[in-house]
Structure 1
Amino acid sequence: MKIIDGGITAPLGWKAAGVHAGIKKEKLDLAILYSERPARISIAYTQNKVKAAPVEVMMKRDPEFLQAFVINSGNANALTGSKGVEDAITMIKIAAAELGIDENLMGVASTGVIGRYLPMDKIAAGIPLAVKSLGRGKKFDELASTAILTTDTVRKEAACQVTLGDGRTVTIGGMAKGSGMISPSMKALHATTLSFITTDAPLSSRPDKKWQEVLDRSFNMINVDGDQSTNDISVLMANGCVEGQPVDDDPVFWKAVEWIAKTLAKKIASDGEGATKLIEVVITGARTEEDARRAAKAIISSNLVKAAIFGSDPNFGRIIAAVGNSNSHFDLEKMQLMICANGTNVKLFDHGNPIQFSGKTTETIARKVLSNKTITIKVDLGVGSHSAEAWGCDLSYDYVRINAQYTT
């Protein structure tokens, strides 16, 4: 696999645009993603029982192919009743007409403040502007990935190329948004972040099972604040511009898709609202992969663990307690726990016993490790050979400030 500089339009046949329609005061707020030919897709939707209008529209349509997406930020079009549904459908109709494609090949997504009607006059004027601005390359990747952001502080993009067994090279690109209301719990193709992954590889059928496996190891393993959005979707789109045999069961291709998804997921976790540190949890020695995932997600979701990391406090008891609350199998007498950063590893718990701090030296090292911007927590459950990773962020004072003032 070769990591390349690019984003959502890196694969052949893809274009994107990002413009200011006026939903936000100044920032870009409307994006369009377009393929020169219909793409086979798989979509995961929020599991929240309160679903935004665009999510309802897309779930009802349940498309197998799409050629384009129109995405707005700054307004979620959620809790907006029948008018919200009508507005989402209107966005589809306007965008499809401007692009000259069938309405059934047009997707829609929204993100932003809940409970406000969309300014449809501004969106209706912004969509033609975005269509006229469509292009391919880094500039257009940046515009589109910026236009879907809300409280995010950075763009989230990734791209790579892989050479298949028959010598063909396919490209995969992606963009995502997410900073708050991030706590995915994907079941039966459900997700909680706006993410779009494109490829020029050919697929012969809707890749729901493979896409689910990717999601279970990436977006489903992040947590910022434990709240699940009403809006968000995760989309894989394959337009087949690289001709040849379908890649439905090609492990090289799916490993690259998973790399893109994990890269975007980590960027979301790192950019959590008010975050100062990225936390990576690595679980080993689990009885099953599901056990490993549950334990990792429990640690990354614990507010007590997040607060301890923010304060550089080596309070390992909170980590062990989170594992105990995960319903995963473990042997406490074989469990080991270590914190790591910048090549320094500090073991805090070993085979059922705490590692006693020798004076201030060991504690000082542990606190220094936890003062880094990226911290890894490693836990061996001592009962098997399965593993999992999860990503999250610390819980800072700024998280409260940002969310206390979100609509003001």
Structure 2
Amino acid sequence: MVEIIEGGVTMPQGFLAAGVHSGVKYRSMDLGIVYSEVPADAFVGYTSNKVKSAPVQIMMKENSPKLSAVVINSGNANALTGRRGMEDAMTMKETAAAELSLDPKEVGVMSTGLIGRFMDMHKVKYGISKAAGSLSRGRDADASFAEAIMTTDTIKKECAASARLKDGTLVHIGAISKGSGMIAPHMKVLHGTTLSVITTDAKLSPAFRETWQEILDDSMNMVSVDSDQSTNDTCILMANALSGGQCADRDPEFRAALTDVMTRIARAIALDGEGATKLIEVQVLGAETKDDARKAVHSIINSPLVKSAIFGSDPNYGRIMMALGNSGCSFNLEDVRLTIKGGDMEVPILDSGAPVFQEERSVEVVRMAMDNKEVTIIVDLAIGEETAVGWGCDLTYDYVRINAEYAT
């Protein structure tokens, strides 16, 4: 049985965290550490953008199978910083390792913030020392770490769950993420930015990597705020096995709990998109292949015209169908059904490729459904059995303002 509980990355046994102000940002917290009391098996997804930040390059090159800590700074992405950036990322790892009595290869590193600026390593090293000396468990530790990795985020994104495995072992999962802009992850295992740390006291083996990729593909990789994939996207799962019990690789309850946690984090990222006022959920049903279903979802949630229509509660469903048609997925127009949900309203729009309504009164019903904090678009392609769900947000005036002023 899966239960969503209050907590973050320190909910599982043996994990501690801290967030501090190092001075990289003028006032707010800007550096955090998550630490496991025993080495944890590490499963990592990285950005597929060919322009990768220094931390991503180093992490991918080392590909450490176990991590005991992850250090993250915000305010500076350490991307497009050349050899100096690589040295700075290594210095972050080495400084954290020295403070925590670890091998540098046991330390993961992430950065987020402005691209193309060098790190102030005097401040960063001070922050790492300060955070290492402040590690603790509990809600205050979770909250400080969550705040320390935020950039344009307006809310902390954290979640926790427990699950009872088949052998009776109770395991816990905790997650903290950041992401608001430059969000369209396509993270691959061994391959605005969203950074995520997921912790668990479950026991996992290297064989879990395939399942990890599948869960990433159904959760974090189905989020898009602005269709721009970051240079820094990284998602780390740390499993320290302190719950005891058997390996949870194939346990359906563990997979369900991890999927639930990561889906909730993904939704929170979409809802907190830069300038966003509405969450858009797109459900594609009846696709011929899983890839087709995902392509259709991404095409719809990435469309500026669809996002603008949702912002204005404009029932211009032609934009949705335009985006579907551009997705490259297989379907027969005469079989497609389209429905829009908002609040307690569920309004059929198209059936068999033709409008269900024409009257002005019916248009107003659609507008009312769209005038909600969460709007769901359901497309049934009626050509197969595959499905996909993804999340995005509306496109607002504030998105343009935030990004026009970001570096100034």
- The two structures have a TM-score, normalised by structure 1, of 0.98
**Equivalent residue runs for 1:252-271 within 5 Å:** 252-271=253-272
The 5-angstrom pairing of residues 365-376 of structure 1 reads 365-376=365-376
Q: What is the aligned residue count? A: 407
Residues 45 and 192, structure 1, Cα contact 8 Å, conserved in 2? no
- Whichever residue aligns with residue 343 of structure 1, its letter is D
CA distance in 1, matches of 2:287, 2:51: 34
Structure 1 residues 188 and 172, CA gap change in structure 2 (3 angstroms): closer
Shift of 1:375: 0.3
Displacement after TM superposition at 1:350 (Å): 1.0
TM superposition shift of 1:191: 12
Q: TM-score, normalised by structure 2?
A: 0.98
Q: Within 2, Cα distance between the matches of 1:187 and 1:127?
A: 28
Deviation at 1:244, TM superposition (A): 2.1
**Aligned ranges for residues 155-194 of structure 1 at < 5 Å?**
155-187=156-188, 193-194=194-195
Q: Provide the residue aligned with 2:383 in structure 1.
A: 383
Aligned equivalent of 1:272:
273
Match of 1:99 in 2: 100
Moved more, 289-298 or 139-148: 289-298
Aligned 8 A contact 1:192 1:234 in 2: no
Residue 347 of structure 1 aligns with which residue? 348
Mapped partners of 2:214, 2:103: distance in 1 = 31
Counterpart of 1:400? 400
Equivalent residue number for residue 146 of structure 2: 145
Residue type at the aligned position of 2:117:
R
1:45–1:191: 8 Å Cα contact kept in structure 2? no
Other structure's SS at 1:333 match: helix
After superposition, residues 11-22 of structure 1 pair within 5 angstroms as 11-22=12-23
Alignment of 1:15-54 (within 5 A): 15-54=16-55
Take 2:322 and 2:28, find their aligned partners in 1: how far apart are those partners?
43
Cα shift at 1:176:
0.4
Q: Between the two proteins, what is the percent identity of the paired residues?
A: 54
Instruction: Give the 3-state SS of the residue equivalent to 1:195 in structure 2.
Output: strand
Contact 1:191 / 1:234 at 8 angstroms: preserved in 2?
Answer: no
Residue-by-residue CA offset, 1:331-381 (whole Å, 9 max, x unaligned): 2111000100112011111101112332x3211111111110100000100
Whether the aligned pair in 1 keeps the contact of 2:185 and 2:233 (CA below 8 Å) is no
Please identify, of 201-210 and 154-163, the stretch whose mean Cα deviation from structure 2 is larger: 201-210
Distance 2:125 2:183 in 1: 30
Q: Given that residues 274 and 395 in structure 1 are in contact (C-alpha distance below 8 angstroms), is that contact kept between their aligned partners in structure 2?
A: yes
Matched residue type, 2:167: D
Contact 1:280–1:392 under 8 Å retained in 2: yes
Structure 2: stretches of 5+ with no match in the other structure: none
Which whole-Å deviations, capped at 9, do the CAs of 1:160-185 have from their partners, x for residues lacking one? Answer: 00001111100001000000000122
Looking at structure 1, the residues matched to 191 and 217 of structure 2 have their Cα atoms a distance apart, in angstroms, of: 10
1:175 partner SS? strand
Task: Give the superposed CA RMSD.
Answer: 1.2
2:217 alignment partner AA = D
Give the direction of change, closer, same or farther, for the CA distance of 1:51–1:132 in structure 2 (3 Å limit). same
Conserved in 1, the CA contact under 8 Å of 2:178 and 2:193?
no
Alignment check: 8 A CA contact 2:47 2:188 kept: no
After superposition, what is the alpha-carbon deviation per residue over 1:267-316, rounded to whole angstroms, capped at 9, x for unaligned?
Answer: 00000001010000011111122211111111111111001101111111
- What's the secondary structure of 1:95's corresponding residue? helix
Offset, 1:189: 5.0
The 3 A distance-change label for structure 1 pair 190 and 176 is farther
Given the superposition, is the C-alpha separation of residues 218 and 192 from structure 1 closer, same or farther in structure 2, using an over 3 Å criterion?
farther
CA distances 1:193-221 after superposition (whole Å, capped 9, x unpaired) = 20111100011325221110001100110
Provide the secondary structure at the position in 2 that maps to 1:256. Answer: helix
SS of equivalent to 1:225: coil
Instruction: Kindly indicate whether the alpha-carbon contact (under 8 Å) linking 1:51 and 1:230 is maintained by their aligned counterparts in 2.
Output: yes
Amino acid in the other structure paired with 2:170: T
Alignment check: 8 A CA contact 2:331 2:383 kept: yes
2:262 is paired with a residue whose SS is: helix
1:23 Cα deviation (Å)?
0.5
Question: What letter corresponds to residue 93 of structure 2 in structure 1?
Answer: I
Task: Give the aligned partner of residue 295 of structure 1.
Answer: 296
Inter-partner Cα distance in structure 2 for 1:189 and 1:303:
32
